[in-house]
Amino acid sequence: MQRYFIETTIEEARISGEDARHIERVMRMKEGDKIVVVAQNIAHICTIIAFEEDEVLVQSTGQTLPSPELPVHVTVACGLPKGDKLELITQKATELGMFALLPFEAERSIVKWDKKKGAKKQERLQKIAKEAAEQSHRTHIPEIYEPITFKQLIEQMGNFDAVFIADEEDAKAEKRTGFAEKLKNVYDKKSKSILIIFGPEGGIARKEADALLQAGAQTMSLGPRILRAETAPLYALSAISYEFE
């Protein structure tokens, strides 16, 4: 069944805008057809009861679907990458269970966030996250934040139960503690939120890595190979999913 998100309660469920047009004109649904409506992070099976101008009225059947969400909230912080890599990370990380995306201005970020065009860019990323959440049957749409400075990233670390950084120097080390081992410690402590930090192309600068470690971050070993900026977050999310799910 098609899945749609609403911001109201299920008792007041009305689907409007692009979603309503998609139901009527693309899917060509009729009254009596069933869809999944996600309200307040719960997926309800609903019946379409009427079409009114640009709105679709639905009614809950009383049936709900189990949540597919990760048992821990994982926020991905990534140094601003080049091109459309941020869009790729947004889409695929949403499919893999990311809770939120927090871009930041890293020392090695070649791309600079254009404040004038930033709102439209952020809106596009949020739309990509919404569509990916619908496709992967999520009950949560990841929040895509406006890029922050590295200093602000350090300040936000205290909001998380555990913080990991992908440091390529760790990948080069002969002896390293596997990410799975560190995740077991997080699991045992019943942590509710994890922040995983990745650099842009070229990785995290040495002084940035040192500052993050001094602020309480741990390194996470993603194997002996150096991963691309857009690959590393997906690798880490897969590892977290394997360990927790």
Going by pLDDT thresholds of 50, 70 and 90, the confidence category of residue 176 is: low
Max alpha carbon distance in the chain (Å)?
Answer: 65
Looking at domain 3-65, does it have CATH number 3.40.50.620?
no
> Pairing state of beta strands 55-65 and 42-52?
antiparallel
Span 182-241, pLDDT tens digits? 898 887 778 799 999 999 998 899 999 999 999 999 999 888 888 899 999 999 999 999
Is residue 168 predicted with pLDDT exceeding 80?
no
Amino acid 134: pLDDT: 97
Average pLDDT, integer, range 144-151? 95
* The residue type at 88: L
Helices 232-244 and 179-188 meet at what angle, rounded to 10? 50
- pLDDT above 90 (res 116): no
DSSP annotation of 195: E
- pLDDT bin (cut points 50, 70, 90) of residue 60 is very high
Answer yes or no: is pLDDT of 170 > 70: no
Q: What residue ranges do the domains of the chain occupy? A: 3-65, 73-244
Q: Which secondary-structure segment (H or E) carries 47?
A: strand 42-52
Query: By the 8 A CB rule, do 91 and 134 touch?
Result: no
Percent of the chain with pLDDT over 90: 78
Contacts of 12 by beta carbon, 8 Å cutoff, 6+ apart: none
What is the pLDDT averaged over residues 93-118?
Answer: 91
Domain 73-244 CATH class label: alpha beta
